[in-house]
Structure 1
Amino acid sequence: MKPLRWLGNALLITCLSTSAAFAEEVTLTVHHFLSPKSNAHTKMVQAWADKVAKESNNQIKFELFPAMAMGGKPSELYGQVRDGTADIVWTLLGYTPGVFPRAEVYELPLVHNGSAAATTIALNATMDMLADDFKDIKVLFLHSNDGNVIHSATKPVRTFEDAKGMKLRTPSRTGSWVIEGMGAEAVGLPVPELPEAMSKGAIDGALTTLEIVPALKLQELDKYVTELPDGDRFGTAIFMFAMNKDSYNNLPDDLKKVIDNNSGMKVAADIGKMWEEFEQTGVDALASAKVERIVLSADEAAKFKAANEKVVARWIEESKTKGFDGAALVEKARAAIAEAAK
């Protein structure tokens, strides 16, 4: 009987140990800058958190804080996740200029070609060449939107010359170069501040997406939106969903696996597709408000392309002072996007 008693006790201990391992609950904070009604919050951040919670048998729980509810400014989100003020953040790389120099390659016009799906897959597929930018945090995934168009509350932009002298909000450092290349003035603003700046006439408009229109009610402020032909864009913005390193490393292995199964290339295609689909809500809002959408002629688009070629060349030249080969990154990023688009 003793061997059986020993076996029974061993099984009991094993069951109790397993139960204890799975019984550990972790609550993670998630902080970002857009409203709780935005596509980013309801369809991406909330959906991701719900999926992770379910797959962890609710051992991972989340407290979501949209609209900077934990305090600070959008430009401080990276610092908050790096330092552990927040466990996870969703933020725009362009809010911290110079911190992510390699990842900027995917923001560039003539690199990003208007597809959130292709650029998002490429971003996550080439993390090895971007890794030095993110050494202080745990990247869960990177993504883009479909890209920037010109929103205007004051005048139509039908030609390259029409943009000259306008004040346009920029989403990033490279976006500023795109705007300057048009002969316009770039104004740095977090996107939540855009509606007030437009309504007060502090700026003429913005270089931003169609997707963001409903969340910021830009259909009430825009009079014109100018786009390049064939779905091309004036560059894009790159976002990251990232976790504090200690918050990740302190998880037990089984919960790390759940996070890993919802990160990187395992979610890139779905996230990219999601952001392509988001754009239709902006298109519909502009149509309902009868905002004029202008598609540039081939001749005028060529003028913008020439200006944007100078932006890419400037970025490559600047990279020489930052310790990496910008020309090689441009080539690799274009190849990765082309591969992802197949």
Structure 2
Amino acid sequence: MLLGTGAQAQDKPVQLKLSSWVPPQHPLNPSLIAWAEDIKKASGGSITATMYPSEQLGKAFDHYDMARDGIADFAYVNPGYQPGRFPVMAGAGLPFLFSNAKGGSAAIDAWYRPYAQKEMKDVHFCFAFVHDPGTFHSHKKIVLPSDIKDMKIRPATSTIGQLVTSLGGTNVQASAPAARDALSRGVADAITFPWGSIVLFGIDKVVNYHMDVALYTTPFVWVMNKDKYNAMSPAQKKVIDDHCTTEWAEKVASPWADFEYAGRAKIAAEPGHEIYKLTPDQLAAWHKAVAPAEAEWASSVKKAGYDPKAVMDSLKQELVKHKAGL
């Protein structure tokens, strides 16, 4: 042990810039800071990190390229912010797959690791995770797929965007921090969002109707600049590798999962909000409505050189294994 500590003490100090586009009070940030503190401890203090929240280093849409280009050493990425760029990962954003975010984060990470080597080859992949299932929050009640026609909707993922388009709606591109403004100005009529974040971003002040269904989750990745990783010593690389695992994906995502789940009760306690369930027939209509989005996703994955059935079957197997499927 003494020899091991000595070797680590001789490693050159590495300072990491961690970039997150959500505000400091978002539960993901403390989780990532705790993750970085564990890295500091495991590296004998040779790897330290500073968190930059609230888009300080760059816009939410740019975080993948920021990690690629070294503007950030680690970046929190929503792959759906760049539709078409990550076709395999987009499959995890299809509706009616995930029941919860804890097992769901372990499932998506275990599933995506083999694909990340090709699909996200510009960066060093650390782990993938999801938030607790989200739904439609809107100015007017959305019950059936036909209600989407002529509505302007801010979709959480590219696959939800495809669903909106197929139903005759218009997509409004806005990052999470910019969503409230879009809704308050009438640029958007509805948003797909998880429950706790509706309150966190103040969106509960501008929408009143909330569909009570586990419609979708958003897949995210935590990725690293390749040059930064390659410049580390073997001992430091091992510390990073030990913190870029399926276990850490679930550990980092769990506090956020609890936060989002608790959001439903917060909204229910606010006056002027209607949370409504769907009848079995209405739910069946939504399941039928997502078929074109699923077909469009399958086509894009096929073009990228993958078998869409094999890709989706492997995701569903991981969801069953981690008790996170619908």
TM-score by length of 1: 0.87
SS in 2 for 1:219: helix
1:215 aligns with 2:196: no
Question: Which residue number in structure 2 is paired with residue 34 of structure 1?
Answer: 22
Q: Which amino acid aligns with 1:240?
A: V
Residue number among 83, 96, 105 corresponding to 2:91 in the alignment = 105
Q: For the pair shown, which has the larger CA radius of gyration, 1 or 2?
A: 1
1:193 aligns with 2:178: yes
Question: Which residue number in structure 2 is paired with residue 151 of structure 1?
Answer: 137
Distance across 1 between alignment mates of 2:254 and 2:53: 22
Distance across 1 between alignment mates of 2:267 and 2:4: 59
> How far did residue 309 of structure 1 move?
2.1
Aligned residues: CA RMSD: 2.2
Residue number among 304, 313, 326 corresponding to 1:331 in the alignment = 313
SS in 2 for 1:140: strand
Distance across 2 between alignment mates of 1:258 and 1:204: 46
Q: 1:61 to 1:33 in 2, by over 3 A?
A: same
Q: 1:28 to 1:255 in 2, by over 3 A?
A: same
TM-score by length of 2: 0.91
Q: 1:15 to 1:183 in 2, by over 3 A?
A: closer
Residue number among 73, 82, 89 corresponding to 2:75 in the alignment = 89
Asked if the contact 2:126–2:224 (Cα under 8 Å) also holds between the matched residues in 1, the reply is yes
Q: How many residue pairs were aligned? A: 320
Asked if the contact 1:169–1:188 (Cα under 8 Å) also holds between the matched residues in 2, the reply is yes
> How far did residue 19 of structure 1 move?
7.1
Percent identical across equivalent pairs? 25
Distance across 1 between alignment mates of 2:8 and 2:251: 33
> How far did residue 169 of structure 1 move?
0.2
> How far did residue 90 of structure 1 move?
0.7
Alignment of 1:1-342 (within 5 A): 18=7, 20-22=9-11, 24-42=12-30, 44-70=31-57, 72-110=58-96, 112-126=97-111, 127-152=113-138, 154-228=139-213, 232-233=214-215, 235-290=216-271, 291-341=273-323
Q: 1:280 to 1:266 in 2, by over 3 A?
A: closer
Q: Which amino acid aligns with 2:90?
A: E
Q: Which runs of 5+ in 1 are unaligned?
A: 1-13
Q: Which runs of 5+ in 2 are unaligned?
A: none
Asked if the contact 1:167–1:185 (Cα under 8 Å) also holds between the matched residues in 2, the reply is yes
> How far did residue 102 of structure 1 move?
1.2
Deviations 1:180-204 (A, max 9, x none): 2443222111111101111111111
Q: Which amino acid aligns with 1:46?
A: I
Distance across 2 between alignment mates of 1:117 and 1:302: 26
Distance across 2 between alignment mates of 1:67 and 1:316: 34
Q: 1:163 to 1:15 in 2, by over 3 A?
A: closer
